[in-house]
Amino acid sequence: MSGTALTLALSKGRIFDETLPLLKAAGIEVLEDPEKSRKLILATNRPEVRVVLVRASDVPTYVQYGGADLGITGKDILLEHGSQGLYLPLDLRIAKCRVSVAVRADFDYASAVRQGSRLRVATKYVAIAREFFAAKGVHVDLIKLYGSMELAPLTGLADAIVDLVSTGNTLKANHLVEVERIMDISSHLVVNQAALKLKQAALRPIIDAFAAAVKQD
């Protein structure tokens, strides 16, 4: 091995795909396609750099505890996880979307909020939702889900959902409407705080190359 070993945690799918051009700008090419292989550790053209594939919501945990030196994860996931033990040098402006409140097209959200009724809200984003409704002074019962939030208002499980929206097609296909936009989301580079000190020489050029390659729009 040449140089300090570095492990980068990524999730498959949009984050992996949108990270490839940034890696390329840093002179790093992943040698395997995660969609074609079952491997969880991927080699790169740089013998000292490897990529580990983890569930999107596990990226902060890997980096926090040093299972990876750095990782890329959505702001949504960081807000739910918290950023203890993590250094966040960069908004990469990839995998953009927003966190929104959505309801059934026939649900009168505005008057429910106006009348101060207690809203039942299903979400994977309990921390984001709790803070948002508390700031509005809306009383909510939060129901934690792990997926397919869109189903909750359709089955009577909840009045509203808090979920990620990108094109809006998923909401539309399920007869839901976006009634509030809570915040814009993009993915961030996260670095283990100890690694930042101990592996500074190896990490700095990668952080700088990513920073230079971030799209400004």
Question: Given the rule CB under 6 A, which residues bind ligand PRT?
Answer: 11, 13-15, 55-57, 74, 76-77, 95, 97, 147, 163-170, 185, 187
- Cβ proximity to ligand PRT: between 69 and 76 the closer is 76
- Cβ proximity to ligand PRT: between 85 and 168 the closer is 168
Q: How far is the CB of 89 from ligand PRT (least distance, A)?
A: 18
Which residues have C-beta within 8 Å of that of residue 74, sequence separation ≥ 6? Answer: 15, 56, 95, 185, 186, 187, 188
- Cβ proximity to ligand PRT: between 137 and 147 the closer is 147
CB 125 within 8 A of CB 80: yes
- Cβ proximity to ligand PRT: between 166 and 200 the closer is 166
DSSP β-bridge partners for residue 123: 144, 162
Of the candidates 15, 19, 38, the residue with the CA atom closest to the CA atom of residue 29: 19
- CA dist 108 → 100, 117, 145, 176 (Å): 16, 12, 23, 12
Q: How far is the CB of 187 from ligand PRT (least distance, A)?
A: 6
- Cβ proximity to ligand PRT: between 6 and 145 the closer is 145
- For ligand PRT, which residue has the nearest CB? 74
- Cβ proximity to ligand PRT: between 63 and 199 the closer is 63
Q: How far is the CB of 48 from ligand PRT (least distance, A)?
A: 27
Q: How far is the CB of 13 from ligand PRT (least distance, A)?
A: 4
Which residues have C-beta within 8 Å of that of residue 40, sequence separation ≥ 6? Answer: 52, 53, 54
Of the candidates 207, 205, 211, 103, the residue with the CA atom closest to the CA atom of residue 157: 103
Q: How far is the CB of 204 from ligand PRT (least distance, A)?
A: 26
Of the candidates 181, 182, 161, 172, the residue with the CA atom closest to the CA atom of residue 119: 161
Q: What are the structure tokens assigned to 120, written together?
A: 């039942």
| Length of the chain measured in residues | 217
Q: How far is the CB of 116 from ligand PRT (least distance, A)?
A: 29
